[in-house]
Amino acid sequence: MIVIYEALGIYKVKLPLPFRLNHVNCYAVKGSLGWWLIDAGLSREATVEGWMQFFEEHSIKPTDIKGIYLTHFHPDHYGCSGWLQCFSGAPVYIGEIDAELIKHYWKSENSFDALDALFRENGMPNDMVKETMGSVNDIIRFTSPHAELTTLKAGQVVTIGDFDYQVILTQGHSDGHICYYNVNHGVLLSGDHLLPEISSNISLWPQTDVYPNPNPLDNFLHALDSIRSLNCKMALPSHGKPFSTIEERISQLEAHHEARLQEIKSCTGAGATAYQVCKQVFRQDLSYHELRFAMTETLAHLEYLMYKSELKKTEEDGVRIFRISS
């Protein structure tokens, strides 16, 4: 709960997560008229305790909170925004694409039936599908109560604290992920788009009418490259420590995905399902929560290789088989 970028009044609020990735960094920004929050954490008691501790330490009253800005719709970023809104009465802002995805995934019944089918069609055994989908249903409970949302468009300028920030659309980790960028200081509130030590999960999810996105890895790589043109001097990420080596980190992430693509391509061999490839590429002690991410990330890389015509796909007994294009 320390000041992390004093010139902009930005404090880091590190909140616990009940996963192997055990924290999420949210941010609180102090301005002359009050406070603004960036991301919210999961909707759970430990998160509320973390926020209340921060509010008490800084003598923040509910009415001091003027706005809550979200980077994307995933539960560890969106989940507690409804509670924060109830607590403060402040508006909650999110990109327009992810606002629609919240309706589709967190508020609709049977919204994950297509994901269940996607896993089965790509070779995941039925018992594994059942357990993996159970982990999805478990996480939904961390998104209530829901916030009333105000949507943001790419390129829009918003005021957080006493300074203006550009809304930068950075698709890939989620279809509508956004970062907030202060041009004068070169500070990027990077969410999960740009992380210092781990690579953002890039997942292929079932296609929806909300935002049909058949190639999330291609989107991510383009969005990653676009950060180069910002002249960014400091990134404040959602996991890990702030860092200034922006160009170096972008190059590392590009190299990581290129290596992962070649590894996945080689794993297809004479023919393999996405699940078989996933089991070769990722560690074997994954929780079902982590297996979901591993499987959808494998699918994102396979789809990218299809897009590049390096792989082809056939169907055998209702299961998709990937192999190297001849």
Q: pLDDT for 236-246, tens place per residue?
A: 999 999 999 99
Q: pLDDT for 26-41, tens place per residue?
A: 999 999 999 999 999 9
| Per-residue confidence (pLDDT) for residue 124, from 0 to 100 | 96
Q: Classify the C-alpha dihedral 66-71-72-75 as positive or negative.
A: negative
Q: What is the DSSP secondary-structure string of 171-227?
A: -SSSTT-EEEEETTTTEEEEETTS-SSSPPP-------SS---S-HHHHHHHHHHHG
Question: Three-state DSSP class for 24?
Answer: strand
| Per-residue confidence (pLDDT) for residue 326, from 0 to 100 | 72
Q: pLDDT for 142-153, tens place per residue?
A: 999 999 999 999
Q: Beta-carbon neighbour count of residue 135 at 10 Å?
A: 14
**pTM of the prediction?**
0.95
As a dihedral over the C-alpha atoms of residue 52, residue 99, residue 169, residue 66, rounded to 10 degrees, the angle is -40
257-266, 282-291, 300-309: lowest mean pLDDT where? 282-291
Alpha-carbon span 305 to 312, nearest angstrom: 8
Does pLDDT of 270 surpass 90? Answer: no
For the chain, which domains are there?
Answer: 3-267 (3.60.15.10)
Residue 82: enclosing H or E segment and its boundaries?
Answer: helix 81-88
* Two tokens, residue 1: 């709960």
Q: CA 60: distance to chain centroid? A: 28
Read off the pLDDT of each residue in 208-234 and give the average, rounded to a whole number.
88
Tell me the pLDDT band of 167, cut-offs 50, 70 and 90: very high
Average pLDDT of the chain to the nearest whole number: 94
Read off the pLDDT of each residue in 189-198 and give the average, rounded to a whole number.
96
Q: pLDDT for 248-264, tens place per residue?
A: 999 999 999 999 999 99
Alpha-carbon span 80 to 240, nearest angstrom: 20
C-alpha distance from residue 259 to each of 254, 263, 266, 273, 274 (Å): 9, 6, 11, 20, 17
| Per-residue confidence (pLDDT) for residue 212, from 0 to 100 | 62
| Per-residue confidence (pLDDT) for residue 276, from 0 to 100 | 96
- Secondary structure E strands in the chain: 3-5, 10-16, 23-31, 34-38, 65-69, 92-95, 149-152, 157-160, 163-169, 178-182, 187-191, 234-237, 311-316, 319-324
| Per-residue confidence (pLDDT) for residue 75, from 0 to 100 | 96
| Per-residue confidence (pLDDT) for residue 14, from 0 to 100 | 96
Read off the pLDDT of each residue in 120-132 and give the average, rounded to a whole number.
94
Does pLDDT of 1 surpass 60? Answer: no
